[in-house]
Amino acid sequence: MSSTIQTSNISSGRNTPESQLESIVPVHPTAARRPYPIQVASENTSYSDEFITAKYHDRGASVETLPDGQLKVTPTVSAYEFKTQRKVPKTGLLMVGLGGNNGTTLCATILANRHNISWHTKSGVQQPNYIGSLLRASTVRLGSNPETGKDVHVPIGDVLPMVHPNDLVLGGWDISGLPLDKAMARAQVLDWDLQRQVAPHMAAIGAPFPSIYYPDFIAANQEARADNVIAGAKKHAHLDHIRNDIRSFKAQHNLDQVIVFWTANTERYSDILPGVNDTADALLASIKASHSEVSPSTVFAVASILEGVPFINGAPQNTFVPGVIELAEKQKSFIGGDDLKSGQTKLKSVLAEFLVNAGIKPLSIASYNHLGNNDGHNLSAEPQFKSKEISKSSVVDDMVASNALLYDPTVTAKDSKAKKGEHPDHVVVIKYVPAVGDSKRAIDEYYSEILCGGRQTINIFNECEDSLLATPLILDLAILAELLTRVQYRDVAKADDFSPLYPVLSLLSFMLKAPLVKRGTDVVNSLSRQRNGLEAFLKACLGLEGSSDLILDTRLW
């Protein structure tokens, strides 16, 4: 007796997204499309088919110290106008390190959401989503309902017209030529059933473009992966190659905008040398001369700047040497970085702020990590670890500097932070443990002084899938960078014409460990201040004041 196996309703993954789960699993709220929901009824805000134009008053205070030590505070008001282009452009995301853990996880996440591919896990059916994204999974308070008095919140991504992540056109470079479906399997981040279903879509993207490989800048243990590199040793030729890749990708997909994002290996720090990379002209000459201190990430940054597309650095190395920043200023091309802030450092920026704001004095912060993915493998080399250590170690500086009651700025510290005055001892350790894969372990100890010489110790153990935390940050950074290319401003008092924003996108700092800021500007690492600043800016583009927690109507008769 023979039997016939019915296969018509069984998905091999090759017929996705036609799966049985799609009809029963709805689109997740973080991936849903919503019409632009906000209409501001104000004389400060006007709408045309092309632009949202908003008047905004930036209120601050000027503080002087008088000869007798008294502080004189003078309120200030500066009037600005913002103009935001309403049409969302067709946008491409080109990732350097496309075949790595972050690159493949991001591509698979977008494809799963785009095709609403659900999958089975040991806990049940899982639907795709964008949880972890500030723009897609976090909300902002607009005001209160006059009838109920209840607060009204909307997704941050709905405040202004932004690219939906499902619409991003994906591509990029990698020193490994493995096709994306196989690179995803190598990364071992995503559930097998999701990989099975999304593999055909990943394969359709193809293999990454050949990338730049200068062995001196990344760990020697990465050499085995470097089978997809741009030929030759002339860095100017490499620059031209990357520029042509950007132009070709843009033309092939009929794109209006492209964002270039570095999510490749951490490089060693480049030496800052006079006449080599300290000015734009010197840097361009050094690229032409193939100088040894010009890193791959700097070549990608320069290529992006010269092509007029935003470049974001998601790793800790000093890609943005002074010459890169000057070139961005000259070309009025956007740059942002450095180093994705996803787990331990994000928590540290919250907890350190909490302790200092509570009047508790952290004396030491000891941070230990181990992980087993390729990022950990690369960081096992000392020069690359030093880049990461620098970006992780500065995260508490502004919070310490804000409280001279606890930390004396005139005291000379015992370590290399002497120029910062009194400062907590801060140690960062990262170890490579292959067995744990992408599941990073982070252990922190906060040792603090409390009342009358007492001591408090807080220990935190944090286990997280590294790439699943990093991927939403890449999306947020790329989408915000694109939005900021469509925002112009003018200073009303100066009667200026509308101009683009300053090229260094410090508004992206919420997602970054070591935020790049305008020269001469203090870095803000406080997570709450970073978010409040971004929220206030997005509201300002609608002519709305920033959120106030005064809630005056509940505190008065």
Residue 143, SS3 per DSSP: strand
Residue type, 385: F
The amino acid at 446: Y
Tokens 């491409």 label which residue?
Answer: 92
Q: How far apart are CA 413 and CA 4, in angstroms?
A: 79
Number of Cβ within a 10 Å radius of residue 239 = 21
Helix (H, G, I), strand (E, B) or coil at 140: strand
The Cα-based distances of 357 to 352, 447, 456 in angstroms read: 8, 16, 16
Active site residue 250: no
From 339, 397, 444, 466, the catalytic residue = 339
- Residue 304, CB half-sphere, CA atoms under 13 Å: how many? 32
Helix axes 280-288, 296-307, angle to 10 degrees: 120
Q: Which of 235, 361, 388, 392 is catalytic?
A: 388
Q: Exactly one of 397, 440, 466, 476 is catalytic; name it.
A: 440
**Partners of 95 in beta bridges:** 172, 261
Q: Which helix (H) or strand (E) holds 121?
A: strand 119-121
Whether 513 is a known active-site residue: answer: yes
Contact, 115 vs 109, CB < 8 A?
Answer: no
Question: Are 197 and 159 a contacting pair, CB within 8 Å?
Answer: no
Strand ranges for 382-486 from DSSP E? 425-432, 439-449, 455-465
Q: Assess contact for 92 and 255: CB atoms under 8 A.
A: yes
- Helix (H) / strand (E) element for 439: namely strand 439-449
330 is catalytic: no
Q: E strand or H helix at 487, and its extent?
A: strand 487-491
DSSP state of 266: P
- In this structure, are residues 297 and 264 in contact, taking their beta carbons and an 8 Å threshold? yes
| Buried residues in 103-132 as b, exposed as e (16+ CB within 10 A) | bbbbbbbbbbbbbbbbbeeeeeebbbbbeb
Question: Which one is catalytic: 250, 346, 513, 539?
Answer: 513
As a whole number of Å, the end-to-end CA separation of the chain is 87
Q: Which two tokens stand for residue 91?
A: 């946008």
167 labelled catalytic? no
Assign 324 to helix, strand or coil: helix
Q: With residue 103 as reference, give the H or E element that holds it.
A: helix 101-114
Q: Which residues are catalytic?
A: 339, 388, 440, 513
